[in-house]
């Protein structure tokens, strides 16, 4: 069962998923804290390069199956033009100002 994006608990994570699914790169970047970092399958990646390749140039889309840790951990079906669909986990570090300073993703 999919959780509607509008019903995700954490407002920053909800905005992140919304921006990914709308292919809104500018909106996505505005959610990130200065110097934000990310990891994919346990390895730190260059954030700008990764989001261009895995989200924006390849039409990434997230369908959230469940959330935990107050909405800051997700299990989602993620698909893009490069890899097709896969079951993924996402975890987010959100600062006091609501911006995301780190996210980690990987295959579930």
- In percent, the amount of the chain with pLDDT more than 70 equals 100
- Domain extents in the chain: 5-107
The span from the CA of 32 to the CA of 38, in Å, is: 11
The span from the CA of 31 to the CA of 87, in Å, is: 24
Q: In this structure, which topology does domain 5-107 adopt according to CATH?
A: Nuclear Transport Factor 2; Chain: A, (3.10.450)
Average pLDDT, the chain: 97
Instruction: Supply the pLDDT for residue 14.
Output: 98
**Over residues 12-36, mean pLDDT:** 98
**CA distance between the termini of the chain:** 16
Q: For 25-60, how does the pLDDT look when each residue is reduced to its tens digit (9 = 90+)?
A: 999 999 999 999 999 999 999 999 999 999 999 999
Q: Is the pLDDT confidence value at 1 over 90? A: no
Cα–Cα distance list, 22 to 32, 39, 95 (Å): 16, 22, 23
């Amino acid at each position: 069962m999919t959780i509607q994006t509008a019903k995700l608990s954490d407002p920053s994570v909800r905005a992140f998923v919304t921006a990914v699914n709308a292919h809104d790169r500018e909106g996505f970047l505005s959610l990130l804290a200065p110097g934000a970092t990310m990891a994919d399958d346990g390895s730190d990646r260059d954030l700008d390069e990764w989001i261009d390749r895995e989200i924006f140039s390849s039409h990434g889309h997230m369908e959230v199956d469940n959330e935990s840790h107050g909405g800051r951990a997700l299990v989602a079906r993620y698909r893009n033009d490069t890899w097709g669909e896969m079951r993924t986990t996402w975890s987010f570090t959100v600062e006091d100002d609501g911006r995301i300073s780190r996210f980690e993703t990987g295959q579930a």
